[in-house]
Amino acid sequence: MPRDPTPRLRAQSPRFGGLDTPDGYLFELTGGSLCLDLANTLDERLRERPRELLRDYKSACDWGLQAGALSPPEYRALVRRSKALPAEAEKALHRLRKGRETVFETFSAIARGKAVPAAALAALDVLIRTAASRRGLSGGTGPLAWEWRRSDTPDLDRPLWAAVLSAMDLVTSDTVRRVRQCEGAGCAWLFIDSSKNGSRRWCDMSVCGNRAKARRFRARSGALEALELTGPLQ
């Protein structure tokens, strides 16, 4: 029996993400929403050299699978298609990264209490209308459901459309008031603060929270050292 090529990464806890595994990169999914998890695929965004986690189309599919944007069959179909059409896959990857920046600019502005820049708003509007056109209503008896329109070939932009539709839901919901931007130095990851008193400051306490604690500790011990070097005050 051929080995199932779908990475078995999805079942693992997102808290253990942020590392390379033999099956590919294991993403940290701490955003609380698919669109925010996409925004967070550019790591250390505010530093001089941000870290691109969507390194190639395959890693974009890995993200899609782990974040729940793609089902395992969709994942397999997209990876197969990207291998058959590498130039097309590269263009789709470029569109995904560009869409990610629109999502980031939108929710970052909201999180900081600023107006969404007009260019981001216009770009998101176009993305949402395009993504929505990829779905159709289906149903029999009972409630109807949105389903991706069937086509003979898998849509290489499917991870983007899934994230954009998540942004469409989030941006007009009350939950958007709880979107925060991590205060960690250089981080700027976005997340939904679901803490009771709305006081979450870090994308992940074990990552940025601890870094900030260590920095405060170093700053304190630096001040102590300086005091010792100058000697006791006369």
User: What pairs with residue 137 in β-bridges?
Assistant: 146
Stretch that binds Zn ion, among 65-73, 77-85, 191-199, 205-213 (CB under 5 A): 205-213
Contact between 202 and 184 (Cβ < 8 Å):
yes
Q: Residue from 35, 93, 203, 212 that binds Zn ion (CB under 5 A)?
A: 203
**HSE of 198, CA atoms in CB hemisphere, 13 A:** 7
Q: Residues 35, 107: contact at Cβ < 8 Å?
A: yes
Instruction: Answer yes or no: are the C-beta atoms of 163 and 99 closer than 8 Å.
Output: yes
Q: Among 39, 165, 187, 212, which residue interacts with Zn ion (rule: CB under 5 A)?
A: 187
For the record, the structure tokens of 163 come out as 């994230």
Judged by CB under 5 A, does residue 63 bind Zn ion? no
Among 127, 184, 190, 192, binds Zn ion (CB under 5 A): 184
State the Cα–Cα distance between residues 109 and 124, nearest whole angstrom.
Answer: 13
**Residue closer to Zn ion (CB basis): 167 or 187:** 187
Q: Which is nearer to Zn ion, 34 or 203 (CB)?
A: 203
By the rule CB under 5 A, 57 interacts with Zn ion: no
Classify 139 as helix, strand or coil. Answer: coil
Query: Within positions 89 to 148, which residues make up the interface with Zn ion, using CB under 5 A?
Result: none
Q: Which residues contribute to the site for Zn ion (CB under 5 A)?
A: 182, 184, 187, 189, 203, 208
